[in-house]
Amino acid sequence: MATPITTPTPRNRPLATSRHDEILKRIAVAGAISVSELTGLFGVSRETIRRDLRFLAQQGRLDVVHGGAARREASEPALDLRASENAQGKAAIGRLAATFVEDGMVVLLDSGTTTLAVARVLVARRNLTVCTGSLAIAQLLCRVPGTRVHMLGGEIDPNDEATFGIDTLEAIGRFRVDAAFIGVGGLSDDGEITDYSRIGAEQRGRMIAAARAAYFVVDHTKFGRLTPVRIPNSRGAAGIVADLPPPAGTLSALADRGSRLFVAAP
């Protein structure tokens, strides 16, 4: 005998609508929220919350990401807006990351303000070959005597002031890379490393695959940030360089994933 199909009663609809409104309000303020937070807030099951999030995502009102939901954003804030955010922490990351680079190496530098902080320290290294899609990094390092800079081809993203796309993906694979330093969109509470877009995530995954040792450079403002797309090959990275230790739960999750954490001195 067929199971009858049931529909929500009018009494249940306002309750779901109320949850949806509250979810959207909290994401508008915080930028992201986890499934576990919402189950505790509303006293309902995880499956109910996941169903709410899927419904809101289908309406285009948020993005469902690993472990929760995030405010729908087309991209990361523009480069000039990020430049002053946690500048001291990024400088500390740059100093620590540069200790993994020896004279004469081939270094792949992702775009972004944290990798630019790495580049500022690398001006002291000798005879480097640097591959990058970042206009700012290329302009800085091409002026260093003895440093050779290869600009990764592709279309220029005006928001990030760097190349991206199919041509960039192909260019990454042409180089034998000793060390790569890679930015991220976010580091979730359960240790997932993510990005804002599929092309950005794929590009960073290719960087990991191309390098003998790849390091994510993650300043603490990215902790707990939920962005939609997982970065492939992230478990193949040699480690994460951060300016502060992440929360205990994230530390435990990173350890379970086998991710090595390097924390910079102030």
Q: For residue 105, give the CATH number of its domain.
A: 3.40.50.1360
Q: Which domain range does residue 188 map to?
A: 79-263
pLDDT in tens, 41-90: 999 999 999 999 999 888 767 888 878 888 765 456 656 656 667 899 99
**31 lies in some domain:** yes
In order, the DSSP letters of the chain are -PPPP----TTHHHHHHHHHHHHHHHHHHHSEEEHHHHHHHHT--HHHHHHHHHHHHHTTS-EEETTEEE---SSPPPHHHHTTTTHHHHHHHHHHHHTT--TT-EEEE-SSHHHHHHHHHHTTSSS-EEEESBHHHHHHHTTSTT-EEEEPPSEEETTTTEEESHHHHHHHTTS-EEEEEE--SEE-TTS-EEESSHHHHHHHHHHHHHEEEEEEEE-GGGBT---SEEPTTGGGSSEEEESSPPPHHHHHHHHHHT--EEE---
Whole-angstrom distance, CA of residue 45 vs CA of residue 47: 5
Among the listed ranges 24-38, 153-167, 234-248, which one has the minimum average pLDDT value? 24-38
pLDDT tens for 191-231 read 999 998 889 999 999 999 999 999 999 999 999 887 888 99
User: Do 226 and 173 fall into the same domain?
Assistant: yes
* Closest to 163 (Cα-Cα) out of 173, 171, 174, 155: 155
Highest mean predicted confidence (pLDDT) among 31-35, 73-77, 97-101: 97-101
Share of the chain above pLDDT 90, in %: 70
Q: Are residues 50 and 105 in the same domain?
A: no
Mean pLDDT of 31-38: 88
Answer yes or no: do 93 and 125 share one domain: yes
Asked, for residue 208, whether it belongs to a domain, the answer is: yes
Residue 254 domain-assigned? yes
pLDDT tens-digit readout, 112-146: 999 999 999 999 999 999 999 999 999 999 999 99
**Is 203 domain-assigned?**
yes
pTM of the model: 0.75
Count how many domains the chain has. Answer: 2
Does 169 share its domain with 53? no
